[in-house]
A and B are shown apart, each in its own frame.
Chain A
């Protein structure tokens, strides 16, 4: 695979299995700067495993995962922590800390990485990201007081607070109604424009894929089956690809 100078993530020939279940087989792809790349695949096809290998939560058995010029599986913990400041991760389950208020949830990454930041600046940043996701009045609420769509927006706000260069979205619209799902998809697009970030989106929600994808990679049988734009794949004659768009 050729490396473009604009490549921010390059995954090459990774394999990952759990016991006898070989989830990823020689999977390769790359994400370019400013691009929205969607990895489309069935449930259980290994999409979440792929994204967890990219962020370093799982270690592939072989292959390289190059993120912003660094091979993630070989990084020491400290280097990995530094890299993770530049890579935001939106979890499928939102993963908001439910013992903390929304404000504390948003302050948490700042307190870890901007240790000397004054409280006024922290407050300002918290309100800025809450404004970005349209939930300024929720700062002092607890996660349990919010709806599913609001939790997703807060999770996105927490991801944005460190102004990451890359955002990884794990099933961002799963479990949401179509209207809220579309709202989250358009929020993802506006965030990308404002922060000039690159996004890797894991999804099987076609409405979200159509709205957000510049390019789509189809993950089938653990490998990169094909790649293309929404239009190219929608008009494909390949049976496996057609199944997704019917």
Chain B
């Protein structure tokens, strides 16, 4: 990366930080766009739900099938539900959910707001006496912040069903034994930190999608760039936040 690239990276990071700061200022001001917020919750949650559920189920199934031979080799096949449930709930389900949302929600927000920007719809909103940041960005960021954790909980559950199926493809684990092992293994230290980090994932996806849309330019080409950048930057942010979250939970000995 050359110097201007590094400078550009920090300038962009600074601009996203300022955009996030504006979210907190605008969110606290009166006239909350509750109807638009609910509409966005429905759209963002509902649009991503089938994809998240299918992917989570497949991930649970695949991780179980892949882990089984190694555990069998060590004579630890009985630990399969324990090991898989910890992997899925702590890491795989939240991160996969966040990445799907970065692709689906982030690109959707980036493209929608980018298209509104280049066709002067955001200006039209401002001219009609509506704060476009509050109406478009605050509602979408809040909706993403709340919906990603909901989707992650769903992904946790569905992926465990996939794991149950995976455990029974080659072996035989009863329904009751599987869930007994899962719930005896999982503790609050596994579930809560992974749930808390999904709020940050959702916030990052919402902020980055909105920022890319609001700063879109160069006509229709710019809309494509905004959507693409929203996915790339949001996915990178998810990994960075995940790394930070793991470090924090490790330092605080929550695991």
Where the two chains meet, the residues of A that have a C-beta atom closer than 8 Å to any C-beta of B are 52, 55, 57, 77, 81-82, 84-85, 89, 91-93, 95-99, 108-109, 112-113, 158
Q: Contact flags (1/0) for B105-146 with A, using CB distance below 8 Å? A: 000000010011001110111111111000000000000000
| B126 engages A57 (CB within 8 Å) | yes
Bound together, the chains give a CA A91 to CA B116 distance in angstroms of 13
| A95 engages B120 (CB within 8 Å) | yes
| Residue ID in chain B nearest A81 by CB atoms | B129
| B126 engages A97 (CB within 8 Å) | no
Report the minimal beta-carbon distance from B111 to chain A, rounded to whole angstroms: 12
CB < 8 Å: which of B123, B130, B131 contacts A57?
B123
Q: Hey, which chain A residues are within 8 Å of B125, CB to CB?
A: 97
CB < 8 Å: which of B119, B130, B131 contacts A95?
B119
Residue in B123, B126, B128 with the greatest tally of chain A CB atoms within 10 Å: B128
Bound together, the chains give a CA A209 to CA B116 distance in angstroms of 29
| A84 engages B129 (CB within 8 Å) | yes
Bound together, the chains give a CA A92 to CA B115 distance in angstroms of 15
| A89 engages B119 (CB within 8 Å) | no
| B119 engages A112 (CB within 8 Å) | no
| A95 engages B129 (CB within 8 Å) | no
Q: Hey, which chain A residues are within 8 Å of B115, CB to CB?
A: 98
Report the minimal beta-carbon distance from B107 to chain A, rounded to whole angstroms: 16
Bound together, the chains give a CA A85 to CA B126 distance in angstroms of 11
**Main secondary structure on A side of the interface with B:** helix
* CB-CB under 8 A for A55 and B128, given A95-B120, A98-B121: no
| A93 engages B120 (CB within 8 Å) | yes
Bound together, the chains give a CA A209 to CA B123 distance in angstroms of 25
Bound together, the chains give a CA A72 to CA B12 distance in angstroms of 31
Bound together, the chains give a CA A57 to CA B117 distance in angstroms of 13
Report the minimal beta-carbon distance from B56 to chain A, rounded to whole angstroms: 29
| B130 engages A112 (CB within 8 Å) | yes
| B127 engages A89 (CB within 8 Å) | yes
| Residue ID in chain A nearest B135 by CB atoms | A112
Report the minimal beta-carbon distance from A43 to chain B, rounded to whole angstroms: 16
Known: A81-B129, A112-B129. 17 other contacts (CB 8 A): A55-B127, A82-B129, A89-B127, A91-B123, A91-B124, A93-B120, A95-B121, A95-B123, A95-B124, A96-B121, A96-B124, A97-B116, A97-B124, A98-B119, A108-B130, A109-B128, A113-B128
List 6 A-B pairs, minimum CB-CB distance, nearest first. A95-B124, A81-B129, A95-B120, A109-B128, A89-B127, A91-B120
Q: Hey, which chain B residues are within 8 Å of A91, CB to CB?
A: 120, 123-124
CB < 8 Å: which of A57, A85, A96 contacts B129?
A85
| B120 engages A112 (CB within 8 Å) | no
Residue in A77, A93, A158 with the greatest tally of chain B CB atoms within 10 Å: A93
Bound together, the chains give a CA A85 to CA B125 distance in angstroms of 12
Report the minimal beta-carbon distance from B215 to chain A, rounded to whole angstroms: 16
- Report B63-121 residues with CB < 8 Å from chain A CB: 112, 115-116, 119-121
Q: Hey, which chain B residues are within 8 Å of A52, CB to CB?
A: 123
Bound together, the chains give a CA A84 to CA B124 distance in angstroms of 11
Report the minimal beta-carbon distance from B105 to chain A, rounded to whole angstroms: 16
Q: Hey, which chain A residues are within 8 Å of B119, CB to CB?
A: 93, 95, 98
Report the minimal beta-carbon distance from A184 to chain B, rounded to whole angstroms: 18
| Residue ID in chain B nearest A105 by CB atoms | B124
Q: Hey, which chain B residues are within 8 Å of A112, CB to CB?
A: 128-130
* CB-CB under 8 A for A109 and B126, given A93-B119, A93-B120, A95-B119: no
Bound together, the chains give a CA A96 to CA B119 distance in angstroms of 9
CB < 8 Å: which of A77, A89, A92, A158 contacts B131?
A77
- Report B221-249 residues with CB < 8 Å from chain A CB: none
* CB-CB under 8 A for A97 and B123, given A81-B129, A112-B128, A112-B130: no
Q: Hey, which chain B residues are within 8 Å of A82, CB to CB?
A: 129
Report the minimal beta-carbon distance from A72 to chain B, rounded to whole angstroms: 12
| B129 engages A109 (CB within 8 Å) | yes
Bound together, the chains give a CA A97 to CA B128 distance in angstroms of 12
Q: Hey, which chain A residues are within 8 Å of B128, CB to CB?
A: 84, 108-109, 112-113, 158
